[in-house]
Amino acid sequence: MRNRSRPLRRASMLSGIVLAVALSGNTPATAITGGTDVTTGTLPFVARLDLGTTERSCTGVLVHPQVVLTAAVCFAGPGGTTTTGTPPLATKVTVGGAVSTVSRIVAHPTKNLVLARLDSTITTVAPVPIASTAPAAGDLLTLAGFGRTGTEWIPGRLKAAEFTVRAAGTATFDVAPSGTSGAGVCRGDSGGPALKSSNGTYQLVGLHHSSNQAGCVGEPSGTPAATETRIDTERTWVTDNLPGFASGLETADVRPNWQNTVGPAGSANIIGACCSLTAPELGVRPENPHSGSNTLMYSGKDNSATLSYAYLKAFGLRNTKLRAGSVLSYWIYPQSSTTSSAVSGSNSTCVAVDLAFVDGSNLRDSGALDQRGNSIHPGGQCGKLTLDTWNQVIVPIGTLRAGRQIDTLSIGYDQAVNTGGYRGYVDDIRITDVLESPQFASGLETGETAPTWTNTVSAKLPGAGGGLAEVGGLCCAVTIPELGSRAEQAATGTNALMYSGRDNSTSTSYAYLKAFQLNEVYIKPTTKLTYRIFPQSTATNSAVSGSNSTCVSVDLLFVDQWDAKKTNMRDTTEALDQKGDRAHPTHQCGKLTMDAWNEVTISLGAVNGKQITELDVGYDQALNSGGYRGYIDDIRITE
């Protein structure tokens, strides 16, 4: 039967009817013919995906408040392959009446599956649970989709029908319509679900993979048959790729935001382990890794047999909130005196990863236990880890701390009894299944983050603010460049950030104005700055000259907590927008469309680990003089 089915994995972008059902010109990818309309609220977790303007449509299923699972072919690029990263086409997802966009996709290494990360959290629909057992021949399943029917090319509504499992393999299973319904799977349903019902609760057992499309409009008649991708075998892959935090301390991983820095829980009676060190240590070292080439080394010397502890912070995770299924895991290598002469007894085992939460609570005092039943408090790990070997620690933290927002992740030593040195390594730290909010977002609307400053120059300092030179007010007795929220022109909502000024020199002219002060915003390899900008021309503002209004961009000020060094985005040559242009205002000159909203996306991974302290808006142009004016809206810093 599978040999007669049309695979949904490959496509031609040149014709309207092609083999890859997901890439079928202006029509959806595979849907249910012969089925019935689904009552609103019955299958609320089934998602419709619209890719590009009219290029493709697919079906998917919500498996996490921020993730939709669908077919990889839906996101295939021009070469027919699907690559993890930014989707090749702008994608709108509608699920349960809520609408979001896709910011990132994760492609399965071998199967026709992809996880689509949503920009916003779906709070009105419960994700569908994934079945833990394989479908068996004779099982009755419900298949659903948004695609074609027997009479409609684009019905635009969800339809479903009952199917019977005919044969199950290790990776896929074949289905046929149950009874005499004649139902089939058509273009528009790629990634749609095969669901098993138990006591009124649905479980996801498969995703539409291929179909012979019999009975679908525009296709030959025949006996419908389809093949589904098994999902029960992919539970671990799904879980491992849900939103979360992970770092193996490698160059491409999230870098710690601090080193050798005491965290919120403090330190008492701990000095350096040896060699004239006066304080405990925590930092990345190319020594004894569990994987890769780097690890996080911890060390110190306990000077009290009654009260001793040191909690050193490593990562800022302020935009991370735990769910019931959140799990913390890490590997730890506690050294003995055999591998480090500075170590005494089993001191190195009295160490654990700790989390501090925004509400003032913490992980160490939560009562959470690891997979061996030991307290995750550093004192509860004393003597429970094997010295001079890698130990994995797994803690289901969500069961006790669901809904808590993380502030910092620290490495803590805590032991009341013994004295002496301790030293070891931590590697491959992960927190799975969390909710992640943008690190910063403002559309300038009421209730959103408002600018901290108005019409305020960012002082020119080495590596920091850009200052002001040869720029004054645009017109009308205004003597200074302006930056402030206005209800005049907005990309969304009613407000935007208006910028304006008059360039008085054709050799050196710039104006960098402060907008937002940022707190606890730390950069990861995948962090991006996005904003919309509307540079005005003389057609919309008579005070503007030439293309001056395009010589403007958002600027970010950074500090590296490792060494307190200050830098900025405009001078970072690796900070490029989606067109490959530098983020410096000068390099945006003439690259933006005037009198229209331009979307700008800048990758910040080149400054991984640094803290963003301030967001400015800068005008910078050496050549021309005259007025400039425009608007900036929907500023976001996201993963």
CA–CA separation, 409 vs 319, rounded Å? 12
**413, 309 Cβ separation under 8 angstroms:** yes
> Is 400 found in the same domain as 374?
yes
> Is 592 found in the same domain as 504?
yes
Mean pLDDT of the chain: 90
Three-state helix/strand/coil letters over 27-81: CECEEEECCEECCCCCCCCEEEEEECCCCEEEEEEEEECCEEEECHHHHCCCCCC
CA–CA separation, 164 vs 144, rounded Å? 14
pLDDT for 219 = 63
Which of the residue ranges 48-62, 120-134, 135-149 has the most confident prediction, judged by mean pLDDT? 120-134
Domain boundary among 186, 219, 240: 240
> Is 202 found in the same domain as 277?
no
**3-state class (DSSP) for residue 317:** coil
> Is 446 found in the same domain as 418?
no
Within 10 angstroms of residue 388's Cβ, the number of other Cβ atoms is: 16
Count the domains in the chain: 3
> Is 494 found in the same domain as 414?
no
pLDDT digits (tens, 9 = 90+) for 371-427: 999 999 999 999 999 999 999 999 999 999 999 999 999 999 999 999 999 999 999
pLDDT digits (tens, 9 = 90+) for 208-263: 887 777 667 666 676 777 889 999 999 999 999 999 999 999 999 999 999 999 99
> Is 178 found in the same domain as 117?
yes
> Is 319 found in the same domain as 214?
no
Position of tokens 């071998």? 110
**100, 118 Cβ separation under 8 angstroms:** yes
pLDDT digits (tens, 9 = 90+) for 340-382: 999 999 999 999 999 999 999 999 999 999 999 999 999 999 9
CA–CA separation, 30 vs 23, rounded Å? 10
Type of residue at 425? Y
> Is 516 found in the same domain as 531?
yes
For the question of whether the overall pTM of this predicted structure is more than 0.85, the answer is yes
> Is 221 found in the same domain as 334?
no
Tally DSSP H helices, then E strands, for the chain: 4, 40
> Is 159 found in the same domain as 225?
yes
> Is 450 found in the same domain as 425?
no
> Is 579 found in the same domain as 533?
yes
On the question of pLDDT at 9 being above 70, the answer is no
* Structural domain of 395: 245-436
Domain boundary among 417, 436, 455: 436
Domain boundary among 177, 210, 240: 240
CATH number at residue 275: 2.60.120.260
Q: Is residue 148 very low, low, confident or very high in pLDDT (cuts 50, 70, 90)? A: low
**499, 620 Cβ separation under 8 angstroms:** no
